[in-house]
Amino acid sequence: MFAALNQQRPDGLYVGPGQLMLANRSRIVGFTLKSHLPSVYSSKEYVDAGALMSYGADRADGYRRVA
């Protein structure tokens, strides 16, 4: 995946939700920072791993509201 991104050189990257992406968040964030690739993530766990920003629902807040 990273090699294809280096070859195609997109203008930006959106990383959507999913366990596979979340499990590899450190690698994904590291790659985007090293490549200077603008990126937006679906949850704050990516920000905790070093990303600049995320855009998505706050799951903890959602759980509190449901309770």
Q: For 6-29, how does the pLDDT look when each residue is reduced to its tens digit (9 = 90+)? A: 677 778 888 988 899 999 999 999
Per DSSP bridges, beta strands 39-41 and 13-15 are parallel
| pTM, two decimal places | 0.74
Residue 3 is predicted with a pLDDT of 74
